Amino acid sequence: MKELEIYILAGGKSSRMGSDKGLVKITGKPMIQYLIESIGTLPYPLRIIAHDPAYRQFDLKVIEDTIPEKGPLGGLLTALTNAKGNNVCLLSCDMPFLKTETLNALITQSRENYITVSRLKDRTLPFPGVYPESLISAVEEHVVNDKLKLQSFIQEKPHQFFALDERHKLSPIEFININTPTDIAQAATWLKKNH
């Protein structure tokens, strides 16, 4: 087992959703809860990065951003600052249907001192991704200087890709981002059909 902790980013502004999206309910259950129930079976500590105290209802450690209002790169800094292990795995609450098998495969493929991020249809997805502790000073420098584009940061550092194309063909719902009320409605329809 790798020395790793998993952090779910749930502290975004959610402007397109109109409210804190991790807590928005899909068929009666908060979005983030689907993710917690799925990946909570993995043998790694699981934490939430968020400001809303309502996230404490999930009985996980909730951590506020070290430097607020700095987007996903600020979330990565918070995770690296709080982690006791050598790596952090960063997830986003708006991908609630990610499967344990997919995440475990990504973690298994990760290498020491390399960023391991997902790739789907020639697009780089920062989440799910594994980020080594050795990046902490570089991340801090970017955050402090407001260089907040996570994609650019990944490209600058040693990184490798975890291809999701085959998994996406088998289970496209796993990789949808839920950002709007329309996305919520589509996810609810899918859940009703498949459960």
pLDDT tens per residue, range 83-124? 998 999 999 999 999 999 999 999 999 999 999 999 999 999
- Please list, in sequence order, all residues whose beta carbon lies within 8 angstroms of the beta carbon of residue 158, skipping any fewer than 6 positions away: 113, 114, 115
| Rounded Cα distance, 191 and 174, in Å | 12
* Model pTM score: 0.94
Spatial contact of 87 and 2, defined as CB atoms under 8 Å apart: yes
Q: Detail the residues annotated as belonging to a binding site for Mg(2+).
A: 94
Q: Detail the residues annotated as belonging to a binding site for GTP.
A: 9-11, 21, 65, 94
Give the CATH number of the domain where residue 149 resides. Answer: 3.90.550.10
pLDDT tens per residue, range 26-42? 999 999 999 999 999 99
Spatial contact of 78 and 143, defined as CB atoms under 8 Å apart: no
- Please list, in sequence order, all residues whose beta carbon lies within 8 angstroms of the beta carbon of residue 35, skipping any fewer than 6 positions away: 8, 91, 93, 95, 96, 97, 98
Spatial contact of 121 and 45, defined as CB atoms under 8 Å apart: no
Domain of residue 92 covers: 4-194
Q: How many domains does the chain have?
A: 1
Q: Detail the residues annotated as belonging to a binding site.
A: 9-11, 21, 65, 94
Dihedral, 178, 81, 57, 101 alpha carbons, nearest 10: 50
- Average pLDDT estimate for 114-140: 96
Q: How far is CA 133 from the centre of its chain?
A: 16
Q: DSSP letter for 55, please.
A: G
Supply 35's token pair. Answer: 């993710």
| Rounded Cα distance, 27 and 67, in Å | 34
pLDDT band at residue 54 using 50, 70 and 90 as cut-offs: very high
User: Is residue 45 left, alpha or beta, with left meaning phi > 0 and alpha meaning psi from -120 to 50?
Assistant: beta
